[in-house]
Amino acid sequence: MPGTQLGISGFKAKKTDHDEIEHGFRAVLDFEEAHPDLYHYKSTSYYTRDVPENSEEEYWMFIDVFTDYEDYMTSIKSAAQRPETKEAQALISKVFAHADGFLTGEGDLSKGLPNLMNLIEHWTEVPSLRVDNQGH
């Protein structure tokens, strides 16, 4: 049985930008939810935490869940090329403009946004080590 796979990425941003980042991601996710034919993942979740060395910043991380990495990446790259996704792409760019460094790769923001596909780490579950629903 193939394990669940994850695409993980994240960045650091100012806490004062939190609401704008959250609203931007929500708009992108609303678009993706309305177009499941374009984006091939099971679910996505977003997380934040404080940056320990700077109380004015927080880390943002997202985790996409899917079963086929190649299909997932192909769908994201293909969707980015379609005319109907231009507004969503603009929203993503606006959100990532708040990034002050990426958690999963070297993103030199002085030259514009990096290739975001290179910033997604790919993880594969070990199915024999899964524990589901502990009743809590």
pLDDT in tens, the chain (136 residues): 467 999 999 999 999 999 999 999 999 999 999 999 999 999 999 999 999 999 999 999 999 999 999 999 999 989 988 999 998 888 888 998 898 888 876 655 555 555 667 788 899 999 889 898 888 8
Amino acid 107: pLDDT: 57
Amino acid 1: pLDDT: 46
C-beta of residue 58 within 8 angstroms of C-beta of residue 1: no
Beta bridge partners of 57: 14
C-beta of residue 38 within 8 angstroms of C-beta of residue 12: no
Polymer length of the chain: 136
**Which tokens is 38 given?**
């374009």
* Pairwise CA distance, residues 79 & 52, whole Å: 36
**Helix 18-34 and helix 86-96: axis angle, to 10°?**
160
* Pairwise CA distance, residues 132 & 111, whole Å: 44
C-beta of residue 60 within 8 angstroms of C-beta of residue 15: no
The reported pTM is: 0.85
Instruction: Quickly list H helices, the chain.
Output: 18-34, 69-80, 86-96
Tell me which DSSP letter residue 116 carries: G
